[in-house]
Structure 1
């Protein structure tokens, strides 16, 4: 019976006094189904248990607020309820969908699937733990996890982009490029794919290049060895020492702005297109402009 207190933590009764906080405000964090029902309504007695069952399966990704229209006539009137059961889905403080009548379970599942992913509740602790697990992964573990996920969900190409990025972080530029080339057109132009393509260009520039220690030794002997400084800048970028890498290209601009057909400027522009640190990019754009204009 709908009148019985709900045992599930995801199902609760709501009144006009609690609607603002428990439905509208709460929907900013996760979707809320609102079930307008009454004790005398036969279809309500069929629909209510089905809704509670499905909400339980979604494990907190969506909550169910129940409004007894006999007790909350003003609240029902505010929403123009003329027949029951009526169900509305509230997200971000707005009604985004709804239906009237007791739908069969298959139709209810289809309705929910349009708006909510099972288990997608904003459980902050669980998300934090998952993020910590991913941060603790080695590059090889990340690659293995993504390959396993792709095997189980081959219709999710975004996982392949994640795998390409993981290969790049592991230093396997050839594998990263192979995954990148195989992406569908809609993902090939994704910002992450574009940045990865730029990173691959930098990685190719290091093919056959001396190790960092040798480049630093060459510069210690001859600070005007622009070729060594250029490769050092690229190596620093690839290895994550972004600001230090950009400084190498600026040093070349200061000493000889037209060296190798303006390669230092080209390197800086390419780096700006790869980096996702807007503040850092803005700082070095201004530094480059001050040297060029």
Structure 2
């Protein structure tokens, strides 16, 4: 199986592979064609290495071909599995083992899937791929999402994907020890958006509506202006307060604006989901 996470050990590369365990753990599988049990488990180990997606390197050592290396490790039985981290053997098992037993050994020493997802998300953010990083971060456990560095990463993604309401909510709960230059930069981005989102035109419409709250055309226009500057929750709330009392308000124009904003936000948006459910509750 061709993979960057799987290597065949030999005299030329085994020192380099072991040195690689300083950065990425290396699982060495000692096997030989004469040992059927040691050969049979190789496809399962290869699939495991693929599933872990680079969390460890699988190194296969054919003890018949590489007897000198095998003797250096003092292998007594086949199959034998040894896990190397920072150049040292930290765990291992001799004799036939179930895949579950091997996985349990790896779990003790390797990062969890959530930790791997977090690492991948941070790398995506650093390369400017915020929309790809966001679902990885949102899928983390609640415990991880309470950590300051995860909150900062989430805020960054929300800002870059123009989900400013969510960004503001998360940014308000950043622990003091995480309020560094990264945090200050995110605050500055949010403030710039807030300034742009409170244009003189919007302020004028808000003042006019405050004078005449029953003016449906003004409400509709203000909601659409809110939507233009990503103040979608305010836009939907303004329209919802009208639609729930009269689905055909302003000859159906209010409902159309409401539906248009829901459609623009898409299925995965939590704010849109909330108002979509409320709409369904009065339609059906």
Q: TM-score, normalised by structure 1?
A: 0.46
Q: TM-score, normalised by structure 2?
A: 0.48
